[in-house]
A and B are shown apart, each in its own frame.
Chain A
Amino acid sequence: MTRSFLPYILVAQRLGIAFVTLIIVSFAVFFATAMLPGDVAEILLGQAATPEAVAGLREAMGLDEPALSRFVHWLLGLAQGDMGTSYVNNIEVAELIGGRLLNSLRLAAVVTLVSVPVALTLGICAAMWRGSIFDRLVSLLTIFVVSVPEFMVATLAVLVFAVWLGWLPALSYGVELDSWSAMLRAYAMPVISLSLVVSAQMIRMSRAAVIETINTPYVEMALLKGASLSRMVLRHALPNALGPIANAVALSLSYLVGGVIIVETIFNYPGVAKLMVDAVSTRDLPLIQSCAMIFCVSYLSLITLADLIAILSNPRLR
């Protein structure tokens, strides 16, 4: 086995682990929702149902089959894009999710576009002027954002931008998106809150990545031979920190998954997370399962992507 193959083997290994993880995760999601609550048919028909009606529905839904075969059916269906039918209103789950998913992806994309450049700039600058007032201020703020719940960041954002400054509507309940400015205003609060949550992580991690490279002897050498601070960081340290930084970006973006659940609920944003929280209150299991799988898949892909970047950007493996 030559060294040049090593990264590919590691990548294949990592993808294999991701696949196995996905199977186990879907197993967990299916059994947490489908096994525990007892009888779905009874829940659906309500208290007044006759035993015959319950038995009939059980048979029609295939609930009499062993759990394992139902799991395999469900997983195969999911792989082919068949997400089942909602219990509550008999609409195809895929249809319910479709538009909502687009909304959530749009939110995630805008947040990524806003937070990545801002966070990287702040993180690299903080690392460059380590120990300065600016660095301490940034560190303090990011520690604050990281250690409070997401809903508090959103609440604070509302308090500052809507209540005190009065720039934006507090909670965009049922705003009609008929004009540019209306849409901008409806998007602004969710985007601001989510960006804050995601960037805090990203700033901390990219700062740490750059500092780690600055501490290496070759960067010290650059400083000793007379390179300026910005040249030392941007020209000498940054290229080698790019891998860890990209890794940090992907990892931080996985915080979107948790953050989006809270933020969509607070701002009543019509995305998948809001759909799922609503489905939890109506106990619409197929809808919950599908939404949960969407989140798990995005979370897993981001984590796997982070690991792949770390593997591929490590020149020692080439």
Chain B
Amino acid sequence: MADTVSHTLSEDKAPEGPKFVFNWVGRIGLAVIVFWAIVAIAGPFLAPHPPGEIVDWDYFGPVTSEFWMGTDYLGRDIFSRIIMGARYTVGIALAAVTLACTIGVLLGMIAAVAGGWFDMILSRLLDAFNGIPSLLFGLVVVAAVGSSIPILIMTLTAIYMPGSYRFARALAVNINTMDFVTVARARGEATPYLILREIFPNILGPVLADLGLRFVFIVLVLSGLSFLGLGVQPPNADWGALVRENIEGLSLGAPAVVFPSIAIASLTISVNMFIDNLPTLIRDRSE
């Protein structure tokens, strides 16, 4: 049922041409995202020097043929550290955004279908959580329980889950009133079936776009926390921590500050570019 409906929808939206067409801005964005994903997975094989080892006695070294992005405040190779940092930044953000969106979307769909008290209390409670500035929430939690990678992931999940809930609930409420859901309900389908087979396929597109934007926010807050020294702890470093470590080199214009910043910007901007240029078919399917 859901399949036939989405089929007619897609025919309305895109009468001609192939199904998923990306323009060149979206393609560049996708290419950079794939690039960083590969770097994060293959990190140890790509790094020319051990990331934690002091390889050069000259700190804040310039860009040379041996050290492609210069050296940091201790004389470690920045290129290798950025490659390893990709694991932390991309890995933690990906884990957090997956958790946040899974929980948020599930709860949102349940609230939309169940309605009533459950919906009201959950919505009010999670809206209240949205009233806490995200960086501040991270600060308070880290102050209380200290910083480790599981805690960072859980904190970031807690910060971004309410937004995901709100988004999914709003979409699901719209779908829930549509005829095919009413028909399924009249047919006697159980609530889990309604949620997973009727509603979920129809909000999937916008939810994925929302997941991408949330990923950017999480990368930003994670880098911010690490920059304040409350994120990934030394000797490991994500990109935010790399900027913090080398901030003293700023007045020297050291490449050690510049390249981690470029890495963060390239990731967040390319995700934005990719999401902004998604075909409308995926983005606004519910409208």
**Interface set, chain A 279-310, CB cutoff 8 A to B:** 279-281, 283, 285, 288, 292, 295-296, 299-300, 303
Determine whether A192 belongs to the interface, using a CB cutoff of 8 Å to chain B.
no
State the CA gap A223–B87 with chains docked (Å): 54
A155 near B128 with CB under 8 A, answer no
Considering only CB atoms, which chain A residue lies closest to B244 in the complex? A151
B140 near A150 with CB under 8 A, answer no
Q: Please, which residues of chain A bring their CB within 8 A of the CB of B268? A: 147-149
- The listed residue with most A CB atoms (<10 A of its CB), out of B133, B136, B145, is B133
Determine whether A85 belongs to the interface, using a CB cutoff of 8 Å to chain B.
no
Determine whether B127 belongs to the interface, using a CB cutoff of 8 Å to chain A.
yes
Interface residues of B (CB under 8 A from A): 124-125, 127-129, 131-136, 139-145, 216, 220, 223-224, 227-230, 240, 243, 247, 250-251, 253, 257-258, 261, 264-265, 268-269, 272
Considering only CB atoms, which chain A residue lies closest to B128 in the complex? A24
B136, B216, B243: the one contacting A296 at CB < 8 Å is B136
Determine whether A29 belongs to the interface, using a CB cutoff of 8 Å to chain B.
yes
B131 near A280 with CB under 8 A, answer no
Considering only CB atoms, which chain B residue lies closest to A300 in the complex? B131
User: Shortest distance in angstroms between B229's beta carbon and chain A's nearest beta carbon?
Assistant: 7
Determine whether A67 belongs to the interface, using a CB cutoff of 8 Å to chain B.
no
Determine whether A266 belongs to the interface, using a CB cutoff of 8 Å to chain B.
yes
Considering only CB atoms, which chain B residue lies closest to A279 in the complex? B143
Considering only CB atoms, which chain A residue lies closest to B266 in the complex? A148
Q: Please name 12 pairs of A and B residues whose Cβ atoms are closer than 8 Å in the assembled complex, sorted by A.
A: A21-B127, A22-B131, A25-B132, A147-B268, A147-B269, A149-B223, A152-B261, A170-B250, A261-B228, A288-B139, A296-B131, A296-B133
Given A24-B125, A32-B140, A144-B269, decide whether A295 and B224 contact each other with a Cβ distance below 8 A: no
Contact string against B for A residues 1-43, beta-carbon threshold 8 Å, 1 for contact and 0 otherwise? 0000000000000000100111011001100110011000000
Determine whether A219 belongs to the interface, using a CB cutoff of 8 Å to chain B.
no
How many A-B contacts are there with CB distance less than 8 Å?
A: 135
A33, A144, A151, A300: the one contacting B243 at CB < 8 Å is A151
Q: Please, which residues of chain B bring their CB within 8 A of the CB of A265? A: 227-228
Q: Please, which residues of chain B bring their CB within 8 A of the CB of A303? A: 131
Size category of the A interface is 35 or more
B250 near A151 with CB under 8 A, answer no
B128, B139, B220: the one contacting A20 at CB < 8 Å is B128
Determine whether A194 belongs to the interface, using a CB cutoff of 8 Å to chain B.
no
User: Shortest distance in angstroms between B32's beta carbon and chain A's nearest beta carbon?
Assistant: 12
A170 near B251 with CB under 8 A, answer yes
B132 near A296 with CB under 8 A, answer yes
B228 near A33 with CB under 8 A, answer no
B250 near A158 with CB under 8 A, answer yes
B interface: dominant SS: helix
A155 near B125 with CB under 8 A, answer no
Determine whether A276 belongs to the interface, using a CB cutoff of 8 Å to chain B.
yes
Q: Please, which residues of chain B bring their CB within 8 A of the CB of A277? A: 139, 228
Q: Please, which residues of chain B bring their CB within 8 A of the CB of A285? A: 143-144
B124 near A20 with CB under 8 A, answer yes
State the CA gap A295–B264 with chains docked (Å): 27
Given A32-B140, A262-B224, decide whether A299 and B132 contact each other with a Cβ distance below 8 A: yes
A33 near B140 with CB under 8 A, answer yes
Determine whether A143 belongs to the interface, using a CB cutoff of 8 Å to chain B.
yes
A29 near B228 with CB under 8 A, answer no
Given A296-B132, A299-B131, decide whether A32 and B141 contact each other with a Cβ distance below 8 A: yes
State the CA gap A156–B129 with chains docked (Å): 32
9 tightest Cβ-Cβ pairs between the two chains A and B: A24-B128, A170-B251, A280-B143, A21-B128, A36-B144, A21-B131, A147-B268, A258-B135, A257-B133
User: Shortest distance in angstroms between A50's beta carbon and chain B's nearest beta carbon?
Assistant: 25
User: Shortest distance in angstroms between A100's beta carbon and chain B's nearest beta carbon?
Assistant: 16
Q: Please, which residues of chain A bring their CB within 8 A of the CB of B129? A: 24, 28
Q: Please, which residues of chain B bring their CB within 8 A of the CB of A296? A: 131-133, 136
Q: Please, which residues of chain B bring their CB within 8 A of the CB of A102? A: none
User: Shortest distance in angstroms between A146's beta carbon and chain B's nearest beta carbon?
Assistant: 8
